[in-house]
């Protein structure tokens, strides 16, 4: 199949690579061409605009940064939906606004193009291992057609409802992750302060009731002071901001999320916006004079 892929960052490059390894022909666009070098070396074709990707692809996947990136990628003058050609399905895997997913779905339908919003969870590790959770919004028939491609990238794939439902589900995911991350960091800070070996703590509590993906995968990075991104702090701040906006529109108070959002904003202010989410520990250390 001829597949278009837009966005070859920390997660996107691995995800596109799984499709390429399965024998699909890729057409690529990314703002920084060098980040697509491995895929291009594997035979993918470079395109100069999102519209050019769509003009040569049956299905176009996108995973970019922020909602304004998604909107320009799809609805801009050189966007995916401005193209004429064989494109019949578009799939946005960015974590973005539910309302924007609805808008893209409506715009795509006006051109007889199917649309799915399909944000993912699992970070760089899940992307590399093709083990992502993929939460999808859109029509059943379109989902059924794309599912074999999703299965090359993820292990837990679910259609959650109509356009925007995938994004709402991802907000549930990010709300939970935010609380888990502060728990991981506070737990390891406490252990370190009382003189425990932090990795030994992870090995024990990571197999009991306190077990989580975050403690077992990001905990060791915290111990090693490895803040390389599996998922950027600045992107997580964006996600939490979307969730807070959606909650405010529903008159729903989420004080835990608001607190963690504030702490991550402090991490970014310290210059760590492009570090991984495990860098939350730096804000907590600063609060404790470390």
Candidates 66, 59, 58; CA nearest to 31 is: 66
The domain that holds 102 is classified in CATH as 3.40.50.720
pLDDT of the residue at 290: 75
pLDDT of the residue at 47: 98
Question: Is 2 designated active site?
Answer: no
Q: From the centroid of its chain, how far is CA 51?
A: 22
Q: Do 18 and 153 have their domain in common? A: yes
**Running DSSP on this structure, what letter comes out for residue 187?**
H
Q: Domains in the chain: how many in total?
A: 2
Q: What value does the mean pLDDT of the chain take?
A: 97
pLDDT digits (tens, 9 = 90+) for 143-157: 999 999 999 999 999
pLDDT bucket at 161, cuts 50 / 70 / 90: very high
The domain that holds 259 is classified in CATH as 1.10.1040.10
Candidates 215, 218, 241; CA nearest to 231 is: 218
Annotated catalytic residue within 2, 35, 155, 170:
170
Those residues whose C-beta lies under 8 Å from the C-beta of residue 67, and which sit 6 or more positions away, are 94, 96, 97, 100, 238, 242
Overall average pLDDT of the 44-52 stretch: 98
Q: Do 68 and 126 have their domain in common? A: yes
Q: Do 172 and 234 have their domain in common? A: yes
Tokens of 129: 């291992």
Is the pLDDT reported for residue 192 higher than 90? yes
**Running DSSP on this structure, what letter comes out for residue 47?**
-
Q: Do 48 and 66 have their domain in common? A: yes
Strands (E) in the chain, as ranges, are 2-6, 25-29, 45-46, 59-62, 89-92, 114-117, 120-121, 132-138, 154-161
Q: Do 114 and 173 have their domain in common? A: no
Compute and round to an integer the Cα radius of gyration of the chain: 20
Q: Which of 161, 182, 215 is the last residue of a domain?
A: 161
Overall average pLDDT of the 3-13 stretch: 96
Q: Do 13 and 147 have their domain in common? A: yes
Q: Do 126 and 229 have their domain in common? A: no
Residue 254: strand, helix, or coil: coil
Q: Do 113 and 202 have their domain in common? A: no
Q: Which of 131, 161, 191 is the last residue of a domain?
A: 161
Q: Which of 136, 161, 186 is the last residue of a domain?
A: 161
Domain that holds residue 244: 168-287
Whole-number percent of the chain with pLDDT over 70? 100
Overall average pLDDT of the 221-248 stretch: 96
Cα separation, 39 vs 249, whole angstroms:
41
Q: pTM for this one?
A: 0.94
Candidates 102, 103, 93; CA nearest to 163 is: 102
pLDDT of the residue at 57: 98
Q: Do 155 and 31 have their domain in common? A: yes
Q: Do 270 and 152 have their domain in common? A: no
Overall average pLDDT of the 204-208 stretch: 97
Phi-psi map region of 122: left, alpha, beta (phi>0 left; psi -120 to 50 alpha): left
Is the pLDDT reported for residue 83 higher than 80? yes
Q: Do 44 and 85 have their domain in common? A: yes
Overall average pLDDT of the 28-54 stretch: 97
Q: Do 148 and 6 have their domain in common? A: yes
């Amino acid at each position: 199949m001829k597949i278009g892929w837009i966005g070859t960052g920390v997660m996107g490059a691995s995800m596109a690579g799984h499709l390429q390894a399965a024998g699909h022909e890729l057409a690529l666009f990314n703002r920084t061409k060098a980040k697509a070098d491995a895929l291009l070396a594997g035979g993918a074709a470079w395109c100069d605009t999102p519209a050019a990707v769509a003009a040569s692809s049956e299905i176009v996947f996108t995973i970019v940064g922020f909602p304004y990136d998604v909107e320009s990628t799809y609805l801009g003058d050189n966007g995916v939906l401005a193209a004429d050609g064989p494109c019949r399905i578009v799939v946005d895997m960015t974590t973005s606004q539910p309302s924007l997913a609805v808008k893209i779905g409506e715009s795509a339908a006006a051109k007889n193009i199917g649309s799915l919003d399909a944000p993912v969870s699992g970070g760089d590790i899940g992307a590399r291992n093709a083990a992502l959770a993929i939460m999808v919004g859109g029509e059943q028939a379109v989902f059924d057609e794309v599912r074999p491609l999703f299965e090359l990238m993820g292990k837990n794939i679910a259609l959650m409802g109509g356009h925007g439902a995938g994004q709402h589900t991802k907000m549930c995911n990010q709300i939970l992750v935010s609380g888990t991350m502060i728990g991981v960091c506070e737990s390891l800070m406490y252990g370190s302060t009382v003189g425990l070996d932090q990795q030994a703590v992870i090995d024990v509590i990571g197999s009991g009731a306190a077990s989580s993906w975050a403690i077992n995968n990001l905990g060791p990075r915290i111990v090693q002071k490895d803040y390389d991104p599996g998922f950027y702090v600045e992107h997580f701040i964006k996600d939490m901001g979307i969730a807070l906006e959606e909650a405010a529109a529903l008159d729903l108070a989420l004080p835990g999320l608001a607190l963690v959002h504030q702490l991550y904003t402090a991490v970014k202010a310290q210059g760590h916006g492009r570090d991984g989410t495990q860098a939350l520990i730096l804000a907590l250390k600063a609060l404790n004079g470390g």
